[in-house]
Amino acid sequence: MRGIILIIALAGALALPGCIARTALDVATAPVKVASKAVDLATTSQSEADEKRGREIRRREERLGKLERRYEKQLEDCRDGDRQACSDAQDTYAEIQLVLPTVPAEPDGN
């Protein structure tokens, strides 16, 4: 019985320095890991910035498309004699002129 306890104690004593060394390594590297994570959260990668810009451009293009469709409908109603539609078309055209410069032009495929 004493032999088994001695073997278990000896095995535990041999395994313990590995655990202590690993814990010491984890404690020593923890500040570096935390700082690295903080930098990752605080900075935006180029691809993330590109994705954000792309989403914003698509949002503006969608807004411009809706305004253009509304404007065309209002012009059609205006031509049919609806004076309110003429006034609304002018307002919509003014809004289009505000949004248009914020949407990048498509490159020519020529």
The pLDDT of residue 36 is 72
Residues 22 and 62 in one domain: no
Provide mean pLDDT across the span 95-100.
92
71 assigned to some structural domain: yes
pTM score > 0.75 for this model?
A: no
Burial class (CB in 10 A: 0-12, 13-18, 19+), 74: buried
Mean pLDDT of the chain: 80
Q: Which domain holds residue 83?
A: 51-103
Give the total residue count for the chain: 110
92 assigned to some structural domain: yes
Whole-angstrom CA distances from 6 to 2, 3, 11, 12, 20 are 6, 5, 9, 10, 21
The pLDDT of residue 84 is 94
Please answer whether residues 61 and 103 qualify as being in contact, where contact means their C-beta atoms are separated by less than 8 angstroms.
yes
Residues 57 and 99 in one domain: yes
d(C-alpha 86, C-alpha 73), whole Å: 10
d(C-alpha 64, C-alpha 101), whole Å: 10
Residue 18 has pLDDT above 70, yes or no: no
Provide mean pLDDT across the span 87-108.
88
Which tops the pLDDT comparison, 108 or 99?
A: 99
Number of separate domains in the chain: 2
For 26-73, what is each residue's pLDDT tens digit? 666 767 677 777 766 667 788 888 888 889 999 999 999 999 999 999
pLDDT band at 103 (very low <50, low <70, confident <90, very high): confident
